[in-house]
């Protein structure tokens, strides 16, 4: 076994070394062909290798699914161009030195291309060679270079928007850090690839020009050498050296044309899960009506007198046969669908009611219209299913407990593109999503407008526009955050989960949290629940924390605090305040992650005294005082947000619970913290005042 593994290790090391040496060896061979004379057999070998390499490159470009799958293509283009030019130099040396011996002097390959392909007629060969050069130089290479140039420009312009979209998916929990890093790398590699292809296409165009120059040099040099050095007549020298030159040119230009075609295929393809052959077949031969009409047109042309009737009628039969097969397959699919949807013909007797008929309410539900069904159908690989799993996983990691499973069902009573999120049978969120389109969200600093359907982001209410897929890159360039239909629903669901986290935390979830903590600290759990507090009290306390967007991941600190204060304080709200103070550093870091001063909203001292008296008296606020407090808090919050500061109000510890419950009715995103929650090493600075 050890010997086998050692041999396998040596084999892998040898393979790695071979891969490292392939590039340098190839360059050395190319340089050698530019300097050293090659015998005709070596020329035949390298010309054949050049043709085989060109075919391989074309086939690789046909079977790749995206441009980045063949990211080495610009370097391959450079190496193949250098190989062709070095072969031209080597063959020119042989043609001029040995051409007077006849057509086989430069090798069998050049002789075959000069004799067999053009019938030994140098005029025909010259015309074919010039046509190939024009096709390569003016059509394929120029078009591929233009596509690469435009692709590089648009890719670079769209890079900031693509990076923002990746960051948005990462922040929404739809992707992980590794996938985000990979997608950023792909964006950078895509820009590098199209930039390299833009430059590499110039090699091919230069190769075509070099081919014309080399052909002229060979013909003129061959005439001079044949007539002056070998005493050949003008006609014999012209025929011999011209055929050799044309054979040499054809054997180089045909692989160049194949490589140029591969470059055009690579830069003009659209990335998908199909190669170019599958795309062409699936999109060109998919509609039987198109084939039937094409067959009709070809049949009419075949009936015109003087036309090649047999050929036209043959294509009519072929196209008509394909159309008939597609019509038949389409009808079979319709019949199968009707059979599946048909109700049972036999009327069965209704069974007696049982406990199986009792349908319990799902804690979390998602109902979708019929056009959104492909997003949630696992048989169609619905992308939304995987994103919902990612949302639940990220929620559990951030908040501290696993949310309920989302039960998904279709609802034909909804709009075709509508969806509804329900919590314990009641609707908590509703929105629309359009599969195949993209939602361009305005974060507030866009540089242009888009054509589309205006709307609002269902999660945060930001202005947005539903756009077609073709406008995606333009929207990213303008600064929009562009997300697909599945991401819209997943982001909205993630926002609702955080907003209603307290309602989703039941006794079962609390018990599971205690069981998980008990695996590492069993004694702490046993001392607190149920000795110090009951399971119900602990559940209500955790719900209070979640309602104010406080994570309950640190269950150890929560139970430690309850073990210390539960005997003296049985009130849930008071215990919540003690737990918040113990979690103060984490709460402060949530809203002020960076160091330095904490820019917060403060409470006027006179208003603070009035609130303390009201709380110590009846415990309720007078209507006039309540309206004034709400209005002044709203004004202070508006000033704080306009300054770009976190919406945090810091008050005395005794007032925090009262103000948090009161202000949460209208100012949902205002965070109320107590001074006891601020760590000693953090400094406060009041940037806005309530009541001042």
If residue 673 lies in a helix (H) or strand (E), which one and from where to where?
strand 671-674
Q: Which residue has the higher pLDDT, 168 or 431?
A: 431
Pair 274, 324 in one domain: no
Residue with the bigger pLDDT between 214 and 692: it is 214
Q: Is residue 316 part of a domain?
A: yes
pLDDT of residue 308: 75
344 occurs within a structural domain: no
Whether residues 418 and 485 fall in one domain: yes
Residue 289: Cβ-neighbour burial (10 angstroms; 0-12, 13-18, 19+):
exposed
Spatial separation of the C-alpha atoms in residues 441 and 457, rounded to whole Å: 7
Share of the chain above pLDDT 90, in %: 20
Helix (H, G, I), strand (E, B) or coil at 689: strand
Same domain, 380 and 477: yes
Separation CA 298–CA 314 (nearest Å): 9
Say if residue 301 is in the same domain as residue 180.
no
How confident is the model over 654-663, as a mean pLDDT? 87
State the Cα–Cα distance between residues 7 and 18, nearest whole angstrom. 16
CATH number at residue 692: 3.40.50.12790
140 and 228, same domain (yes or no): yes
465's CB contacts (< 8 A; 6+ apart) are 439, 440, 442, 450, 452, 453, 454, 455, 475, 480
CA distance 692 to 690: 6
- Domain count of the chain? 5
The answer to whether residue 14 sits within a structural domain is: no
pLDDT score recorded for residue 345? 44
Q: What is the pTM of this model?
A: 0.54
pLDDT at 8 > cutoff 70? no
Confidence of residue 427 (pLDDT cuts 50, 70, 90): very high
Does 2 reside within a domain? no
Query: Tens digits of per-residue pLDDT, 254-275?
Result: 777 777 777 777 766 655 555 5
Residue 597 domain-assigned? yes
Phi-psi region of 223 (alpha: psi -120 to 50; beta: other; left: phi over 0): alpha
User: Is 573 part of any domain?
Assistant: yes
The whole-number average pLDDT for the span 265-294 is 65
Residues 567, 674 share a domain: no
249 and 181, same structural domain?
Answer: yes
CA distance 674 to 608: 13
> Is 260 part of any domain?
yes
Q: Do the beta carbons of residue 421 and residue 365 sit within 8 Å?
A: yes
Does residue 571 have a pLDDT over 60?
A: yes
pLDDT of amino acid 117: 59
Which neighbouring-strand residues pair with 483? 439
Q: Are 495 and 517 part of one and the same domain?
A: no
Which of the two residues, 394 and 29, has the higher pLDDT score? 394
Q: What is the largest CA-CA distance in the chain?
A: 127
How confident is the prediction for the chain on average, in pLDDT?
79
Question: How far apart are the C-alpha atoms of 137 and 208, rounded to whole Å?
Answer: 6
The upper half-sphere exposure of residue 113, i.e. CA atoms within 13 Å in the direction of its Cβ, equals 24
Domain check: are 172 and 40 in the same one?
A: yes
Residues of the chain with pLDDT > 70, as a percent, come to: 79
11 has pLDDT over 60: no
pLDDT tens-place string over residues 352-407: 777 766 777 888 999 999 888 888 887 777 788 888 999 999 999 999 999 999 99
Strands 648-651 vs 671-674: parallel, antiparallel or unpaired: parallel
Residues 205 and 273 in one domain: yes
Q: 282: pLDDT confidence band, cut at 50, 70 and 90?
A: low
Lowest-confidence region among 39-43, 384-388, 458-462? 39-43
pLDDT (0 to 100) of residue 341: 59
**Does 515 have pLDDT greater than 60?**
yes
Q: Is residue 9 part of a domain?
A: no
Instruction: Give the domain CATH number at 493.
Output: 3.40.30.60
Cis peptide before 491 (omega within 30 of 0): no
Q: How far is the C-alpha of 310 from the C-alpha of 201, rounded, in Å?
A: 43
Domain residue limits at 385: 360-501
Q: Are 473 and 448 in contact (CB under 8 A)?
A: no
pLDDT higher than 70, residue 350? no
Q: How many residues are given for the chain?
A: 692
């Amino acid at each position: 076994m050890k010997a086998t593994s050692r041999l396998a290790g040596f084999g892998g090391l040898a393979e790695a070394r071979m891969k490292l040496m392939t590039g340098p060896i190839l360059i050395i061979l190319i340089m050698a062909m530019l300097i050293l004379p090659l015998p005709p057999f070596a020329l035949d070998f390298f010309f054949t290798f050049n043709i085989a390499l060109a075919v391989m490159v074309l086939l690789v470009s046909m079977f790749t699914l995206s441009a980045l799958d063949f990211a080495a293509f610009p370097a391959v283009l450079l190496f193949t161009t250098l190989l062709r030019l070095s072969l031209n130099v080597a063959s020119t040396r042989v043609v001029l030195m040995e051409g007077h011996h006849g057509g086989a002097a430069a090798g069998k390959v050049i002789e075959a291309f000069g004799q067999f392909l053009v019938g030994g007629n140098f005029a025909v060969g010259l015309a074919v060679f010039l046509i190939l050069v024009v096709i390569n130089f003016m059509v394929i290479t120029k078009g591929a270079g233009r596509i690469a140039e435009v692709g590089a420009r648009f890719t670079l312009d769209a890079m900031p928007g693509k990076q923002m979209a990746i960051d948005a998916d990462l922040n929404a929990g739809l992707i992980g850090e590794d996938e985000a890093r990979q997608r950023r790398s792909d964006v950078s590699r895509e820009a590098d690839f199209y930039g390299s292809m833009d430059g590499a296409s110039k090699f091919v165009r230069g190769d075509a020009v070099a081919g014309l120059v080399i052909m002229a040099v060979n013909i003129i040099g061959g005439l001079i050498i044949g007539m002056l050095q070998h005493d050949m007549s003008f006609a014999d020298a012209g025929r011999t050296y011209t055929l050799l030159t044309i054979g040499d040119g054809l054997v180089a230009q045909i692989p160049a044309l194949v490589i140029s075609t591969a470059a055009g295929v690579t830069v003009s393809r659209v990335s998908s899960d199909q190669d170019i052959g599958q795309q062409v077949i699936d999109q060109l031969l998919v509609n039987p009506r198109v084939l039937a009409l094409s067959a009709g047109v070809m049949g009419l042309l075949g009936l015109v007198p003087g036309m090649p009737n047999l050929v036209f009628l043959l294509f009519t039969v072929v196209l008509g046969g394909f159309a008939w097969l597609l019509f038949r397959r389409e009808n079979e699919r319709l019949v199968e669908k009707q059979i599946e949807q048909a109700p049972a013909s036999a009327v069965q007797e209704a069974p007696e009611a049982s406990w199986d008929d009792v349908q319990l309410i799902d804690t979390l539900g998602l109902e979708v219209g019929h056009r959104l069904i492909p997003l949630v159908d696992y048989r169609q690989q619905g992308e939304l299913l995987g994103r919902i799993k990612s949302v639940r996983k990220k929620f559990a990691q951030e908040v501290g407990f696993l949310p309920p499973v989302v039960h998904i069902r279709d609802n034909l009573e909804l709009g075709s593109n509508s969806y509804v999120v329900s919590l314990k049978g009641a609707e908590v969120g509703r929105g629309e999503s359009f599969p195949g389109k993209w939602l361009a969200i305005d974060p507030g600093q866009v540089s242009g407008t888009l054509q589309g359907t205006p709307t609002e982001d269902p999660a945060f209410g930001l202005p947005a526009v539903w756009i077609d897929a073709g406008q995606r890159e333009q929207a990213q360039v303008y600064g929009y955050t562009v997300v697909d239909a599945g991401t819209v629903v997943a982001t909205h669901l993630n926002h609702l989960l955080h907003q209603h986290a307290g309602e989703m935390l039941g006794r079962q979830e609390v018990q599971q949290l205690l069981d998980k903590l008990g695996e590492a600290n069993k004694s702490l759990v046993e001392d607190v629940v149920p000795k110090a507090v009951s399971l119900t009290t602990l559940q209500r306390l955790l719900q209070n924390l979640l309602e104010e967007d406080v994570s309950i991941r640190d269950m150890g600190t929560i139970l430690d605090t309850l073990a210390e204060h539960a005997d003296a304080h049985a009130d849930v709200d008071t215990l919540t305040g003690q737990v918040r103070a113990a979690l103060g550093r984490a709460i402060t870091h949530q809203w002020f992650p960076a160091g330095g001063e904490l820019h917060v909203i403060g409470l006027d001292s006179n208003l603070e005294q009035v609130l303390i008296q009201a709380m110590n008296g009846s415990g309720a606020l007078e209507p006039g005082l309540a309206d004034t407090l709400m209005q002044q808090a709203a004004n202070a919050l508006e000033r704080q947000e306009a300054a770009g500061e976190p919406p945090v109000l810091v008050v005395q510890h005794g007032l925090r619970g009262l103000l948090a419950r009161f202000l949460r009715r209208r100012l949902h995103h205002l965070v109320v913290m107590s001074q006891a929650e601020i760590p000693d090493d953090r400094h406060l600075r009041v940037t806005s005042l309530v009541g001042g």
